[in-house]
Chains A and B, each alone.
Chain A
């Protein structure tokens, strides 16, 4: 090492005039000293992760001349280029690559002054990503089919969970990459509640009122919903909407692939629907899970998700339907809408069917003969499933690779009949009374640096963060705080005075702790 060489030469020079007298002890002392220094340097190098002596040498001897180094801020992992230490190598490289700007050897690691993401760049990058994905969708997504309008039919009525379900459907429809016409049929007439929810959708909405009110039992509700859907189909017929009609019941969940798949329907298609029938009672669910575990050897299919949809044979031709098996739930299913029991679907739910809107149109042109005339349908005869719109149910097209893909899920969850909710889910004017939690996991005020006053520390854990303040007392407190702050500000030592300057209004413990809060500030 060059350092040790320098020191060796210094030692030699030193030793010659003072020859023998102070030689031995000074030699040993120096040797020990250098040994200790070497060990120290080794340890430091171990900690830093690089050869520390090189850096010292760099500081002592050479000056940073290469433009490879960035000056602000200096980083220890920028060792200097080894031009001076290995001259032969670099010069041969330079000679042979005379016109090249690429040099072999150690280079600095370039780091810009603030190596963190710049939000402007991030925004620009996201716009680029969006543009690329749009292009991808245009090329691969719709394919050559052309995008047909999706006509969604949703029967709804005002209730506690309406906002929950309707927002879910709305957001799914907003994400659909095709044109959407949303026909919302509301039982009990058009209401502001529903109108305010669907107005946020941004798609074209046809809000239709239906004069009947929604009944209280599931069975009757199903019947009224059928009538509402037929009402919507009549709208489609009258307005001559063109596209694919799908039934988006407001508590269902749709996947985006569902909307891509239904573009393929020619006249009448069916998809598989996953049925999430549940009891709504957690204990019963746990019990049923235990029962399931007992019966797991006998019947494996119990634990799988029941699916309603088309059934195909090996050559992908429609041969029948998978329907929901209601036997396990016999007698245990919910009757009233807020029953704590399993809600069962119909044999064939409407949401599993999609149809070309031209089926509903009046003119008989280009409509296949196996479709009944929609205008002549008698609703009072009890239309159970969309199959009654057809003369020949075997002409239905199975979609989603012949029903193997489950593209939407059916679920019915409703709140108790006596549950109340604020109109529009907006609390206006804001509540006057706020009762806070007893224990919040965070301290209410930022923790103070430790002061001499120990009794203040005990209160600063932020657990009792208050505060019931009726308005008049609040004003009083504010005046007092202003007064006390005026007193306090000129002297920092006034912390000692806190105890003396306690307010007279200490009727409640609560307000005194607020006082402490303010003073601490």
Chain B
């Protein structure tokens, strides 16, 4: 125990030096505040030594071959599943002995079947997942021991393990029955929604760290834009009449504030998008077809206070990061009064939010840098998994007990992949 505390102190000192010389260089000496969420001051925790993860060796048709077929998967916003595997393979939490593992990781890339436009098709994902689980259930005894309750999967798609991009169909399908007991690491999070399981870990979508770092501007550039947003308001391709896309919230933003000089909103994506975010005080992060978006990550990195317009959304690492203190939450029904809401926030509160955003550990927690750095999103995922330890007695099944229904779900999903 004493050795562990010394190790932790040593690592904490390293963390301090790392935060100044880390690859994500930030401006010097901006006053920050410590961030502590509902789980306590856990952003800087080091998961090494607190858990052990065993990574299954799946045939390369589940991961490497898919990536070779389409390397665009490395840069789109669902790339977290690929980088998670790479991180775990070389991380000190990995163990080669499955008997001593606390958690088991199944590296299957379900979000890598891309259209020519780059959007992932989820139609084969349930079959792929099912086939992977059948493989590990037949080759290793660990799945049947707990029916997956100590396994975790990364499903960064629009609606997580519901594997569909349309919300109605995703709700209709529900979470894949085989994943009912597993822990899901996903980007989607909405309270009281079918596709968010109790005990899931919400992560931010992948945003390329190098690209964002190369667009940093000096911190003394005055923030002169009040509210900034770039993106679609009406999805004319899929929802021409409006009212369906984003539950009408984005269209409401446009109709109410298109002539307001304080709101720099438009659909045109300029090349100075990142620089403009650094010159803005508030950045809108409204929902789209799904409630989450990479805008949240970008806003946090560039120090712009995120204005989250998505009812009942669950934000990444919600137990480690106190999002209520950092961002502004606006109900969708209050969108027409957005300007009143934002101007009635007292300046001290705004300055405090900016100080919290300036905290380097906050920015690190939103990123997936390669190679991994202390405090980044990989470590937060591991911290989250470590916080769920030790496993409850109900995780381990009695021999012969079966809880999962292997034949549930649409018939098309039962076909082999």
Contact = CB atoms under 8 A, between A and B. Distances in A.
A110 B350 contact: no
A99 interface: yes
Interface residues of A, number: 46
Interface string A85-128: 00001001100111111101111111110011110011011011
A110 B333 contact: yes
A86 to B, nearest CB: 9
Interface residues of B, number: 54
A59 interface: no
Given A108-B243, A132-B354, A97 B193 contact: yes
A92 B167 CA distance: 12
B226 A125 contact: yes
8 contacts: A77-B241, A100-B192, A102-B247, A110-B256, A116-B259, A117-B262, A131-B351, A140-B30
Interface stretch (B15-23, B197-205, B340-348): B340-348
Interface of A: 49-51, 77-79, 89, 92-93, 96-102, 104-112, 115-118, 121-122, 124-125, 127-129, 131-133, 135-137, 139-141, 144
Interface stretch (B102-110, B217-225, B265-273, B380-388): B217-225
Given A50-B241, A99-B192, A128 B350 contact: yes
A57 to B, nearest CB: 14
Contacts of B27: 140
B61 to A, nearest CB: 35
Interface in B222-263: 222-224, 226, 240-244, 247-248, 251-252, 255-257, 259-262
A124 B343 contact: yes
B289 to A, nearest CB: 11
Nearest to A124: B343
B31 A139 contact: yes
Given A109-B242, A121-B262, 9 more contacts: A51-B241, A92-B172, A98-B192, A104-B168, A109-B252, A125-B342, A128-B281, A128-B347, A132-B350
B223 A136 contact: yes
Nearest to B342: A125
A77 B254 CA distance: 13
B220 A111 contact: no
A399 B30 CA distance: 26
Contacts of B167: 104
Contacts of A137: 220, 222
A111 B258 CA distance: 12
B339 A102 contact: no
A97 B311 CA distance: 13
A140 B345 CA distance: 24
Given A116-B260, A128-B281, A136-B223, A110 B347 contact: no
B194 A89 contact: no
B222 A133 contact: yes
A104 B262 contact: no
Contacts of A101: 311-312
Given A128-B343, A133-B223, A139 B312 contact: no
